[in-house]
């Protein structure tokens, strides 16, 4: 189901709670909402649709995938950039890393470990910040 995007810094003010298998519908709704906003958005966190759970979805080219309870375990290649967000007005400076490794659960709640670089890594970092209560 496509959900309404929640706006404002308040939605990122607290750290998201860990997700569990009871949150499968949230994963589906988040993927549906990302696809519906694909012309203006490349990633979303569950708090952007009003659910305070640690779930993100990422668009990597033609593919969209979910990361449940993602944790960055390794990062390298620090750089400065600017980012915008569908839930916030304006562009803000931030620090990102060109290469990251992430432990997470996939859409079927199976443990995964992934290595990401470049633009995909940047999207993942942005969305994990949202889960961690960081306003970008």
The residues annotated as belonging to the active site are 127
* Whole-number Å distance between alpha carbons of 122 and 112: 19
Please say whether the beta carbons of 14 and 133 come within 8 A: yes
* Whole-number Å distance between alpha carbons of 33 and 129: 19
Please say whether the beta carbons of 131 and 16 come within 8 A: yes
Q: Tell me if residue 65 falls in helix, strand or coil.
A: strand
């Amino acid at each position: 189901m496509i959900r309404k995007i929640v706006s404002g810094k308040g939605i990122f003010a607290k750290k998201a709670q860990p997700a569990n298998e009871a949150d499968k519908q949230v994963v589906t709704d988040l993927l549906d909402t990302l696809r519906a906003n694909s012309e203006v958005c490349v990633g979303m966190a569950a708090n952007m649709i009003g659910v305070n759970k640690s779930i993100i979805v990422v668009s990597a080219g033609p593919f969209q995938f979910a990361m449940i309870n993602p944790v960055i375990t390794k990062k390298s290649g620090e750089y400065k950039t600017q980012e915008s967000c569908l839930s916030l007005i304006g562009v803000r400076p931030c620090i990102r890393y060109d290469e990251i490794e992430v432990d997470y659960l996939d859409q079927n709640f199976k443990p995964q470990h992934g290595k990401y670089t470049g633009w995909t890594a940047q999207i993942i970092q942005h969305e994990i910040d949202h889960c961690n209560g960081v306003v970008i």
